[in-house]
Amino acid sequence: MKRVLITGAASGLGLALAKYYAAQGWAVCIADIQDEAGQAIASQLKQQYNSDCFFQHLDVTNDQEWLQLANDISERWKGLDAIINNAGVASSGDIDALELKDFQWTVDINLMGVVKGCHYFTPLLKDSRGNLINVASMAGLLHISGMSAYNASKAAVVALSETLYSELDPFGVKVSVLCPAFFKTNLTDTMRSTNESGTVIAGKLMDKSTITADDIAKQVYNDSLNGKLMILTHRNEKIFWWVKRFLPSLYFKIMKNTAKKFHDAMARKQA
């Protein structure tokens, strides 16, 4: 039986991933700070698929909890076939308005939480020639104004993943980075923002998306097993990323105009 560890798996995309992997016959470790929800999901998957699914509390900023999880998985499963570093948060606000503690909070979870997952579990993945999957965002490739902390943290996850894609290849470890655009999830529930409109806009874009967490989970499963580095789930944003790469002047013109329209709208609202 294959074994996967998924962080932030008690809700949102992490939950969809846990369900999909369990349905494919994998043993799943649900690691999350949401104890009650995590335990309930693990129990449900274990009963439904008769597989070794279990929950363990994990704050991805806590080194001791990472170390304990690595030890427990090594003892319980004697190895690991895949890790999905999914846990993440969102923040928004202009660089001179967003509090530094909120910028740090975003980086600590979105970037360093992923770094720690890679650090503590790469030895097991080398042994199994397994899969390392990091969840970034299209915000790691396309950088909308007012999202400096989130964009920077997700761009760093992309850079980290590209580095490990080459670094771990001699050991047979396949590395993938997921870069989805908006889809319906619970990310805005904990979002820290200097402007309520930013959260409202993000929520509306999520609700309008025709791509679901279940769709993304299926693509992650298939693409990662095929060794695909960049997993892009949204067609329009993928095209815009190509515009950025090959027509950067047009890309930045669009981004500047978008930023101006947003700030003009905020100014009218406050007037």
Active-site residue set: 150
Extract the tokens encoding 139: 């915000």
Q: Are 34 and 10 in contact (CB under 8 A)?
A: yes
The Cα–Cα gap between 195 and 219 comes to 34
CB 185 within 8 Å of CB 214: no
Which residue's structure tokens are 């025709």?
210
Nearest to 42 by CA among 8, 77, 10, 82: 10
Are 107 and 209 in contact by the 8 Å Cβ rule? The answer is: no
Which helix (H) or strand (E) is 174 found in, with range? strand 174-179
Whole-angstrom Cα Rg for the chain: 19
